[in-house]
Amino acid sequence: MSDHHPDLSYRLRQQAILSEFGVEALRGEDVDALLQRATELCAEGMGAEFCKALEHLHDEDMLLVRAGVGWGPNVVGHARVGADLASPAGFALKTGRPVISNHLENENRFRTPQIMAEHGIRRAINVLIENREGAFGVLEVDDTREGMFTEADIAFMQGFANLLGGAIERQRTEGLLKQALARQDLLVREMSHRVKNSLAIVASLLALQARNADDPAVRDALIDARTRVEAIAGVHDQLWRQGDTTPGEIDLAQFLETLTANLQSSAPNHRIRCSAEPLRVSADRAIPMGLMVNELVTNAIKYAYPDRTGEVRVGAACTGAALVLDVSDDGVGLPADFDIGRASGSLGMRVIANLARQLDARIATPRGQGARFYIEIPLEA
C-alpha cells in the first residue's frame, strides 16, 4: 500500500475487519485456526501480499511461523526466524515496540531473515502478541512491492495482536477450567467477569477514539462499534452475576432492560421503554438477540425523529413455540419500498439480517405509524 490511502474508506474498512475478527476471537476454540484467520484478515485489511504469526519458542529462543498467508510450501509450521535484536521480528519481541521497515534492502538496523529474502520481501511491519502470561510472539505483515507502512497501520495490526493475545490466554484458561470440573461453575463465571471487563475496556477505548475523531463518519462508526461491544459485554456481565441458576444462561428480560438503559443514557432526548417477559436463554442466543435490539434502537434514535424527540419501544414475549422481539417507534417510518433483505447499503440492516439467519428468525415490518420490526425467533428445543 502507498502512503496515500483514501483514508476514510481505508480506515473504516480496517475497522470493519477488526470488528469481524473480534467476534471470532471471542468465540474461537482453536489457536491455530484463530492465528490463521488473523493473518488472512490482517493481510486483507493492509492490502498486503504476506502475513505471518510467529510463536516464540523459549527453549530455542527462536520464532516459529505458526500461521501465515502468501508463503511458499514448508514455511508455515516449519520455518524459524531469529528472536534476537538483529531481526525485525526479534526486535519487536524483545523490546515490545512495533517495528516498521519500509526498505529492507537498505536496512542497517536489521538483517533480512532468510525466508523473507527468498520471497523477495521489501518491507515489513511487526507488532508484539502478548497477554498477562507474557509475550506469545509477533504478528508481521510483509510485501514485495514499493510502498510505505505507516503509524496508523501499526494501530490496526496492534488491534489484531491484542485480540489474539487475549484469545490465546482465554483458551489456555478455559483448558485449565475443564480440568477443574468440581469448580467449573465458579470459574466459568469468573471468566465471564474477565471477558466483561475486557470488553468494557475495548468500549472505553472506542469511546475515547470517537471523541478524538474529527470526521463525523469515523466518529459515528466508532460509536456504533462501541454500542455493539457493550451489548456483548452485557451478556457476560449477567453470566458472572447469576446465582444458583443454569450455567451459560441469562435472564433475557433483565439483559434487555440493562441494554436499553445503557442506550437511553446516550440518547437523553428520546424515551426508550422496555417491556420484556422473564425468560432464560443461552448466552449464545442472547448475544445475537441483544445485538439486533441494539441495532434497531440505535437506528430509531438516529432516524425516527429527525426534528423532534420521541419514544422507542422494545418488547419481548413468548408466543407458543417462539420468542418475539418487537422494536417500534412513532417517527417518520420506513420507506415504502423497504425490504431488509435488500437494504445492503446499511451496515446495521446487514448485521440484523445476518443475526436473524443465525437464530433462524423471521423479520416482519408491519406498516403503521412510525417503524416497527417484529422478529419471531424459534425457542430452543
DSSP for 347-378 reads HHHHHHHHHHHHTT-EEE---SSS-EEEEEEE
CA distance 82 to 67: 17
Q: Is 244 exposed, middle or buried (0-12, 13-18, 19+ CB in 10 A)?
A: exposed
**Residue carrying C-alpha cell 417507534:** 329
Q: Is 199 helix (H, G, I), strand (E, B) or coil?
A: helix
Over range 285-301, report the average pLDDT: 88
36 membership: H or E segment, kind and range: helix 31-46
DSSP string, 45-95: HHT-SEEEEEEEETTTTEEEEEEEES--TT-TTT-EEE-STTSHHHHHHHH
Residue 208 has a pLDDT of 82
Q: Shortest CA distance to 251 belongs to which of 264, 233, 263, 239?
A: 239
Percent of the chain past pLDDT 70, that is, above it, reads: 87
Strand partners, 362: 376
Over range 258-263, report the average pLDDT: 87
CA distance 198 to 176: 20
Instruction: Reply yes or no on whether the pLDDT at 370 is more than 60.
Output: yes
Q: Do residues 100 and 79 make contact, with C-beta atoms less than 8 angstroms apart?
A: no
Over range 320-343, report the average pLDDT: 85
User: Please, which contacts does 173-179 make with residues 24 or more away whose CB atoms are closer than 8 Å?
Assistant: 174/29
When the pLDDT of each residue in the chain is averaged and rounded to a whole number, the result is 83
Over range 333-350, report the average pLDDT: 76
Instruction: Reply yes or no on whether the pLDDT at 94 is more than 80.
Output: yes
CA distance 209 to 57: 35
Residue 75 has a pLDDT of 92
Q: Do residues 370 and 338 make contact, with C-beta atoms less than 8 angstroms apart?
A: no
CA distance 371 to 348: 15
Q: What is the 3-state secondary structure (H, E, C) of 273-320?
A: EEEECCCEEEHHHHHHHHHHHHHHHHHHHHHCCCCCCCEEEEEEEEEC
Instruction: Reply yes or no on whether the pLDDT at 243 is more than 60.
Output: no
Residue 2 has a pLDDT of 43
- Residue type at position 165: G
Instruction: State pLDDT tens for residues 38-89.
Output: 999 999 989 999 999 999 998 899 999 999 999 999 899 999 988 888 888 9
What's the distance, Cα to Cα, between the start and end of the chain in Å? 50
Please name the residues in contact with 82: beta carbons below 8 A apart, sequence gap of 6 or more.
Answer: 62, 63, 90, 113
Residue 341 has a pLDDT of 67
Instruction: State pLDDT tens for residues 16-36.
Output: 888 888 888 877 778 899 899
Q: Shortest CA distance to 226 belongs to which of 255, 266, 257, 178?
A: 266
DSSP state of 243: -
Residue 3 has a pLDDT of 45
CA distance 348 to 361: 17
Please name the residues in contact with 60: beta carbons below 8 A apart, sequence gap of 6 or more.
Answer: 80
Please name the residues in contact with 9: beta carbons below 8 A apart, sequence gap of 6 or more.
Answer: none
Count other Cβ atoms within 10 Å, centred on residue 215: 12
Higher pLDDT, 219 or 362: 362
Residue 379 has a pLDDT of 84
Please name the residues in contact with 197: beta carbons below 8 A apart, sequence gap of 6 or more.
Answer: none
Higher pLDDT, 108 or 188: 108
Strand partners, 322: 319, 378
